[in-house]
Each structure stands twice: as structure tokens, then as C-alpha cells.
Structure 1
Amino acid sequence: MNSRVSHIVVVDDEHDVRTVLTDALRQIGYTVTPVSTGDELYAADNVDLAVIDLRLNNEDGLQLARQLRENSDIPIMMLTGKGDETDRIIGLEVAADDYMMKPFNLREFTARINALLRRSQNAGTKRVSVETNETVYQFDDWTLYLSRRLLQHADGRTPDLTYGEFSLLEAFISSPQRVLTREHLMERTHGYDSDSLDRTIDVLVVRLRRKIESNPRIPRLIKTERGLGYCFDASVTKLVPQPH
């Protein structure tokens, strides 16, 4: 059994902010490395989650998150300032798994960090499950191998899904052709409720559509139900492994 304590790197060029976030995370049992630059982030070993400020003094936090995402699938939490709505949405679409606007409540911050790590660790457990006992879902021209977290198209393509995108797809295929509210999807993907202004699910849907829809601008699979949420408009077949 792996009992290693999760390691979080906090990237923020404001010393006071780094100190407050580091103390809050250490108090709930995490190993935390506070840094002020991307180079220091990359120098850290065995990182399980990164908290990155969007607006760093000498570098672009969004670009830093992009670069990290290209080389790692660890959860990324973006911190943004008031009035950065556009940057916040772009950050989620491109790289981040969640965001919070400064100033924020430390209790909510730690709850969101807990949720991100929990979902990431659960996904890691599934990746090493025994393939012979694997549950497989089929929809449209896609096959989803659940324990391997592998999505494969009939033409052989296997798009990489972040753990957030995978969790969203798993929520959809478990309740096909039903309207699912943003609150329900937020609970399934992040482990906590959100308010009506939270765009996290919307941008996750955009990202997932880009990977599974033939035309993301005219989606056939993930339909928007205005004022309600989303509906996965596909017939889903579940193939359960037979006992030997």
C-alpha cells in the first residue's frame, strides 16, 4: 500500500500569498513546496498537483500551465485576479483543471485541492486495474476501456483525456440521453457543488467536444440543454467481463 503524502507546488510571486497557501495546505497534511518561478516548479520532484498564479511578474502563468500540461497530467489549479474572466476561461480550456479568484476562502481552497487530488488518485488506481476484468463502453464510433482510461475511435485514434475530461465522459456515459445539471456534473467531476456563475463544467465540455465530436461547433453527442445543463445524446452499450 502506497502511503506517500501528496506533494503540492504553489507557484506565486507574492510572498504573503505563498506563505498563507503553504501553511493552509500543510495544516491538512500535504507536503508543500512554495516557489515563485516556473524553473523552480520544474525542479521539484514527484509533484502531484500544481497551484499556479495566472499573473506572475516575469512570466505568463497561463503559458507555464500549458507547458506543464504538455509534459504531465497532474491536476492544475489556477489562481486569478478579479476581472480576469477571459483569461480564466482560456486557462481552463487549455490547461487547468480548476480555478479560484483572489481573494478566496481558504476552506474552499483546501476543499477544492482535496477534490482534485482525490479524483486524480482514483483515476490512477483505475489505470492499473487488471485488464481482463475490464468494463468496456461503446458509443457512436468510440470504445472506452474504463480501467485503462483509454478512449479509442474506430479509425484507431486514441485522444489523450485529462482526468477531468475523463471524469466528465464517465458521468455522461453512465447516464446517457438524460439531462444532467451543471451542479450534478460538478459533483461527479470535482467532488463539490458549484454556484451558477462557475464556468468550470462549460469549459470542460468544450474541451471534451474537441476530442470526441466530428464537428465540435455542431455537436451530435454532447447537447446543450439551455437553462438546464447537458445531455449525452448517444446510445451506450456496456460490455461487462464474464466470470471465468
Structure 2
Amino acid sequence: MRILLVEDDLVLRTTLAIGLRAEEHEVLVAADGRTALDALREDAPDLVVLDLGLPDIPGLEVLQSLRTWSRLPVIVLSARTDSQDKVGALDAGADDYVTKPFGVDELHARIRSAGRRGAVTAAPVVTEHLRIDVAARQASRDGAPVRLTPTEWAILEVLLRHPGRLVGRADLLHEVWGPAYDRETNYLRTYMATLRKKLEVDPSRPVHLVTEPGLGHRFTLEPGA
């Protein structure tokens, strides 16, 4: 399993990374929230271990940003023992909450449990020409594999959560790039054009990746839907 470990304490981060690698996990590390958000978009981890007390962006905000576009399993680490902190993290979308100090064996057990829950995903989307499995990060057109970038997968995941429904431009920007992005519609034009080239039989006449000018985008399962 590829795990993103987000922890600002160097000693604890190093200790946990060594322990996780000993369990044959691939470990990515981040010491602050901005690095974590970049890694989430670019490195496609399978699970996140997230400290709440980060030096720049609070861990809770990192979690809330992630939950706008992904259901990736997240285990929160925190020295806060107040039940309201735990409730707040779980309400924000955490899959589990581990209070410091904790035993390494306990964390490993919780990672195994969260990983099993995260493996329960929606069925792949299959159309006449396409097969898209967001959970497995696998796509094909007419049987030929198609390679997509992490950002392209993030856009597809948002659109496929609302099949046939229009997703507004601002909503799509927020879910993929974060709440600070409102007007960067050039990002969407660029990525949607690339997705059409990769997934549509005729990119100039898209069947599935439809743009409503000035409004947003939608993924339609059937032609003309």
C-alpha cells in the first residue's frame, strides 16, 4: 500500500516511516499541509496518515480540502484528547482517529482496517467505447489502455460522482485544486481538452465529456443524454 504520512515532528515521522516500510508499505512523507496537498494531487497515495497539528495549514483543513474530491482513507493523528476534536475530525471525513501517544502495532492495525474499507468502491463505468475504473486508476478506450495523470483522474472522479449532471466550473475547480481557486477556468479548458483527446473517439464531437459554455461540465453515460 502507498501511504502518505503527514507529520511535522521529525523524530515521530522518521520512526513511523521506518515502521511502515518494515510492513512493506511504500511511504511518502510530508512535514506540512501544502506539501501534503501537492502529494495528494500528484502522487496518488492509497491511504493518508494525517497529523492535525501542522505548522502551516491545519490538518483539519487539509482533510476538508481532500474530501471535496476524494474518498481516500484518512487516519488522523492528534495529541488532542477532547471528544469534540475527535467528533470534528470524523465529521470532516476522517476514517479513524488515533490519539498520541499510541502504540505502533495499534496504528498498523488501524491502517489495515481503513485499507480494507477503502477497497470497497463503486463499480467501473463502462460505455460502448470506454471502461473507467477510478478506484484502480485504470482506463481504456476500445480495449486499449489510456494513461491519465493524477489531476485528470481527480477531474474524472468528480464528474463520475454526478453522472449526467452539470458540475459548475467553480465547483470543479474547488474540488480538484482547492477552495482558493475560483476563476482559473483556463485550467479546466486545458485538462478537458486533453481528456477528450484521450477518451473520446472524436474529440471534436465529444459524446461523454460535455462542456456547457459558461456553466460547467458533465460526464454523460449515453450519447445525447
TM-score (normalizing by structure 1): 0.48
Q: Deviations over 1:85-142 (max 9, x none)?
A: 2111101011211010000010010011011112212x13x52399xxxxxxxxxxxx
Residue aligning to 1:128? 124
Q: Which runs of 5+ in 1 are unaligned?
A: 1-5, 131-149, 151-155, 157-244
Residue aligning to 2:64? 66
Amino acid at match of 1:68: L
Amino acid at match of 1:127: A
Q: Give structure 1 regions of 4+ aligned residues with deviation exceeding 6 angstroms.
A: none
Contact preservation (8 Å) 2:90, 2:96: yes
Q: Distance in 2 between matches of 1:33 and 1:95?
A: 21
Contact preservation (8 Å) 1:19, 1:34: no
Residue 49 and residue 55 in structure 1: after superposition, are their counterparts in 2 closer, same or farther (change >3 A)? Answer: same
Q: Distance in 1 between matches of 2:2 and 2:31?
A: 16
Residue aligning to 2:15? 20
Alignment of 1:31 onto 2:26: yes
Q: Distance in 2 between matches of 1:35 and 1:84?
A: 25
Residue 113 and residue 38 in structure 1: after superposition, are their counterparts in 2 closer, same or farther (change >3 A)? Answer: same
RMSD, aligned α-carbons: 2.6
How big is the shift at 1:58?
2.4
Contact preservation (8 Å) 1:13, 1:35: yes
Contact preservation (8 Å) 2:33, 2:56: no
Contact preservation (8 Å) 2:34, 2:57: no
1:209-228 paired onto structure 2 within 5 Å: none
Q: Distance in 2 between matches of 1:82 and 1:60?
A: 13
Q: Distance in 1 between matches of 2:55 and 2:5?
A: 15
How big is the shift at 1:82?
4.1
What percent identity do the matched residue pairs reach?
A: 34
How big is the shift at 1:59?
2.2
How big is the shift at 1:34?
1.2
Q: Distance in 1 between matches of 2:63 and 2:10?
A: 20
Residue aligning to 1:110? 108
How big is the shift at 1:21?
1.3
Residue aligning to 1:95? 93
Amino acid at match of 1:19: T
Q: Distance in 1 between matches of 2:88 and 2:9?
A: 23
TM-score (normalizing by structure 2): 0.52
SS in 2 for 1:127: coil
SS in 1 for 2:68: helix
Residue aligning to 2:78? 80
